[in-house]
Chains A and B, each alone.
Chain A
């Protein structure tokens, strides 16, 4: 990925006479109100999950925070307004400062608003692969990471350990799932939103790496429950298994149609997965989900 002014300079250097066309290019920056909820949920709340472990919901989006004897580890700040509300919620629980804010991945609907905490001295923590996305698509409400890592990373504070687990590319290429030790709970953003099927065209998901990552989480035998990045505060690990099973059934069904020679434009109408019709949004999303799988098999994306 590249940084455009730099590319322009490089090309200018090669050609010497580059002049961009006169026109009015669209504004590529995010509108300030783009972060409105698409989940039909409003307001915010905080739930205590375990000793020192809390989850905060802003509209349809959710994070966790860990209160320790030396300060607080927060995660996805969501947006400026969400982060302000989160800060006030944390202040109801402890007088200690937020020392770290961990990003789950690079998408704007989760990681904006970090400056609310960095101005009081918090450090932003993210997987190193996120940095190139943040440089490629800058956003005025985004605080750049202070601490980056490759692979897994243990964030320790006040005797608590938040284990950041990198599973490779799946939803983007810098997503980490987070385990607040010693709990048998994993904070899993976007890889699963419990009891529902994926939305639409599965934005920025690499299909087979997604299934692989879900299987790798299922293989973590100590994990009994997940806190998702959207909607409900907590769900059993079975919800993640259901999502993985849905994806596999969908992929198998589409592949069977392709193998049978069904025209690609007809395939979405042919996909029926009776075992999963109870999942939220099944009826409205199954065809678009199927189209996404057709795209994978036709072009490798």
Chain B
């Protein structure tokens, strides 16, 4: 009897497992159909669609693009680029591993493009596979340079921040860096304030090294406006520093852990978007860092 119950149970588990369809049918909850193209600099464009933003760098020998975003976005991006140049798309650069940015590269690969990501993304793609996410063809360790049609594009990895495989794409001749999710200009930490997958220990170091290493005037984010001044990076780093110091100060003072988040107040950053809504959640995430080491 016990054996029969167990068998029925295992069968039920199998059925439920199929219904769950974890990675097989996931969708983008932010999908919209429009695409907005903005010229940022000579031969440098940004596209906003499906709730995310990516870039295209046009050279005499071909095009380098950032994230494909999603299959439908990739089709629109391909169409938009065809309006700007008849040269082929040679490279697709994944900003990090998250599905809201890196689905849909297949159409570019089919047309001959090389997919590039930081090497740490591979483990994520294997552990959390998605049918619309294809693996990179090329990975790199700390820095990777792409030379194409007389332009030089630098891919930099500055350690864990929003993800442990974030690529910051630097375009030296435009003095612009493309930073996806680690900095969303003029805003507190994102992911609904929960700082999804954020690495608090590396975040600050990562932005410090960026600020000191690259000569840039503007950034192009992965969500939000087409461009923002370089200062946006510094403000986001300073917010993180102030937040972490404030949380640690409360813990050191013996504040009960379940009261710490509600006591945090950072008036010098109250102008940031999402401050009122997400400050306490941001603080909760930092509290988790200090209590469990994650």
Residues of B within 8 A of A169 (CB): 127
A25 touches B204 (CB 8 A): yes
A153-187 toward B: CB 8 Å interface, digit per residue (1/0)? Answer: 00000000000000001001000000000000000
| Cβ-closest chain A residue relative to B194 | A201
15 interchain pairs, CB-CB under 8 A: A1-B164, A7-B142, A8-B205, A21-B208, A26-B204, A26-B241, A27-B248, A30-B290, A31-B251, A31-B252, A34-B291, A204-B294, A218-B13, A299-B196, A301-B98
Top 3 nearest A-B pairs (CB, nearest first) are A26-B244, A299-B98, A108-B293
Q: Which residue of B lies closest to A15 (CB)?
A: B213
Could you give, for residues 267-300 of chain A, a 1 whenever the CB lies within 8 Å of some chain B CB and a 0 otherwise? 0000000000000000000000001101101111
Question: Which residues does A use to contact B, with CB under 8 Å?
Answer: 1-2, 4, 7-8, 10-11, 14-15, 18-21, 23-28, 30-31, 33-36, 38, 106-109, 133, 136-137, 139, 169, 172, 200-201, 203-204, 206-209, 211, 215, 218-219, 221, 248, 251-252, 255, 258-259, 264, 291-292, 294-295, 297-301
A33 and B196 within 8 A (CB): no
Q: In the complex the two chains form, is B191's CB within 8 Å of A295's CB?
A: yes
B211 at the A/B interface (Cβ < 8 Å)?
yes
> How long is the Cα–Cα vector from A108 to B292 in the complex, in angstroms?
4
Q: Bound complex: CA of A215 vs CA of B22, how far in Å?
A: 15
B85 at the A interface (CB under 8 A): no
B23, B194, B248: the one contacting A208 at CB < 8 Å is B23
**Size of interface on B: residues with Cβ below 8 Å to A:** 66
Q: Scan residues 1-40 of chain B and give those whose CB is less than 8 A from a CB of chain A.
A: 6, 10, 13, 16-17, 19-23, 26-30
Residue with the highest number of chain B CB atoms closer than 10 Å, among A25, A107, A258, A300: A300
- What separation, in Å, do the CA atoms of A215 and B20 have in the docked complex? 13
A300 to B181: give the CA distance in the assembly, Å: 14
Asked if B201 contacts A136 (CB within 8 A), the reply is: yes
Residue of B nearest to A294 (CB): B29
Q: How far is the CA of A144 from the CA of B268 in the complex (A)?
A: 40
Do B252 and A8 have beta carbons less than 8 Å apart? Answer: no
Neighbour of A252 across the interface among B6, B19, B160, CB < 8 A: B19
For B211, give the chain A residue with the smallest CB separation. A21
- Given A169-B127, A299-B197, 17 other A-B residues pairs in contact with their CB atoms under 8 A: A4-B205, A14-B143, A21-B211, A30-B290, A33-B254, A36-B256, A108-B292, A109-B291, A208-B20, A208-B22, A291-B192, A292-B194, A294-B29, A295-B194, A300-B99, A301-B196, A301-B197
Q: Is the CB of B196 within 8 A of A295?
A: yes
In the complex, number of A-B residue pairs with CB atoms less than 8 Å apart: 159
- Give A291 to B194 CA distance when docked, in angstroms: 9
Give Cα A173 to B258, complex, Å.
27
A204 to B30, CA, bound (A): 24
With a CB–CB cut-off of 8 A, which chain A residues contact B202?
Answer: 2, 4
Q: Which residue of B lies closest to A112 (CB)?
A: B293
| Residues of chain B within 8 A of A137, CB atoms compared | 201, 293
How far apart are the CA atoms of A10 and B30 in the complex, in Å? 39
Closest to A111 in B: B293
Residues of chain B in range 240-263 having any CB-CB distance to chain A below 8 Å: 241, 244-245, 248, 251-252, 254, 256-258
B217: CB under 8 A from chain A? no
Query: What is the CA–CA distance of A18 and B128 in the complex, to the nearest angstrom?
Result: 36
Q: B6, A221: Cβ atoms under 8 Å?
A: yes
Closest to B120 in A: A1
- Contact residue among B98, B208, B212 (Cβ-Cβ distance under 8 Å from A300): B98
Segment 177-227 of B: residues with Cβ below 8 Å from A = 191-192, 194, 196-197, 200-202, 204-205, 208-209, 211-213
Interface residue from B21, B100, B212, B258 paired with A19 (Cβ < 8 Å) = B212
Are the C-beta atoms of B212 and A107 separated by less than 8 Å?
A: no
**Complex Cα gap A201–B289 (Å):** 13
Question: Are B248 and A26 in touch, CB under 8 angstroms?
Answer: yes
Q: How far is the CA of A298 from the CA of B211 in the complex (A)?
A: 30
- Contact B205 A298, beta carbon cutoff 8 Å: no
Interface pair B292/A300, CB less than 8 Å apart: no
A106 to B133, CA, bound (A): 30
Identity of the chain A residue whose Cβ is nearest the Cβ of B250 in the assembled complex? A31
Please name all residues of chain A whose beta carbon is closer than 8 Å to the beta carbon of B6 when the two chains form the complex: 221
A207 to chain B, nearest CB (A): 8
Q: Which of B29, B30, B288 contacts A203 (CB 8 A)?
A: B288
Query: B124 contacts the other chain (Cβ, under 8 Å)?
Result: yes
Taken together as a complex, chains A and B put the C-alpha atoms of A110 and B258 apart, in Å, by: 19
Which of A7, A23, A207, A298 counts the most chain B CB atoms within 10 A? A298
